[in-house]
Amino acid sequence: MASHGPAGEDRVITIPNALSFLRLLGVPVFLWLILGPHADGWALALLMVSGITDWLDGVLARVLNQRSHFGALLDPLADRLYIVSTIVALTVRGIVPVILTVVILLRDVVMTATLPVLRRHGYGPLQVHFLGKAATFAMLYALPLLLLGDGNSPVHAASRVAGWAMLLWGTGLYWHSAWLYLGQVRQLVSARTTATDDVRGIA
C-alpha cells in the first residue's frame, strides 16, 4: 500500500524494493498454507508480516531517499497479488461468496485494461491517490479478519463481523476509486488527442 513515490529515479536494487520482492515471494507460500494444510495461523502470521513490510518499505524509501519508479510499480503489485490471492483462496474455502469475488476482481480487470490505452497515448500508470490507498487498506485488513472469523467462538464471530464490514466498505471504495481513475484516463486521453489535432491543424 505504501507508495515509493515519483522520485524520477530508476534504481532497482534498494532496501524498500527488496522488501516488496520478499512480499511477492510470500504469495505462493500463503496460498499453499491456506489451501493445502489449512494452516490458518501461519497464513495470518504471513499476512501480518506482509502488512508490516508494506508499511516499512514506504518509510525506508523516504528515510533513505530510495524512492524509485520500479518501487512505485512493485509495491502496488504486491498489494494487488495479496488481495487477489487471498480473496480467491477464501472463495475456494467457501468463506467469501463467488459473486463478491467477481465484483472485486472485475475492478482490477477494468483498471488493467486502461494501461494499454495510457501507453498508446504516451502515459505511464497513474499515481495511486488517497482513496485508492484507503480501499487497499480496507481490503488488506478485511480479508485476514474473515480468515480469522472461520470458526464458531465469540472471537471468530467478532472477527467475522468486523471483516465483513471492512470488506463491503473496501469494495465500495475500490470501485469509487476506479471511477476516479477512469475519469483521469479520459481527461489525459482527451488532452493528448486535442493536442495532436491542434498540431496537425497547424501543420
Give CA–CA dist 108/178, Å, rounded: 9
For residue 193, name the pLDDT band (cuts at 50, 70, 90). confident
Question: What pLDDT score does 160 carry?
Answer: 92
**Residue at grid coordinates 471504495:** 173
Give CA–CA dist 141/151, Å, rounded: 18
The DSSP code for 95 is S
Give CA–CA dist 136/142, Å, rounded: 10
What would the CATH number be for the domain defined by 15-196? 1.20.120.1760
Tell me the average pLDDT across 176-189: 90
Most confident of 49-63, 68-82, 91-105: 91-105
Model confidence pLDDT, tens digit, residues 6-38: 444 566 777 877 888 888 888 899 899 989 888
Q: Where are the domains of the chain?
A: 15-196
Question: What pLDDT score does 5 carry?
Answer: 42
Asked whether residue 201 carries a pLDDT value surpassing 60, the answer given is no
Asked if 56 and 19 touch (Cβ cutoff 8 Å), the reply is: yes
Asked if 35 and 47 touch (Cβ cutoff 8 Å), the reply is: no
Tell me the pLDDT of the chain averaged across its residues.
82
Give CA–CA dist 19/7, Å, rounded: 18
For residue 1, name the pLDDT band (cuts at 50, 70, 90). very low
Model confidence pLDDT, tens digit, residues 81-134: 888 888 999 999 899 999 999 999 999 899 889 988 888 888 877 777 788 888
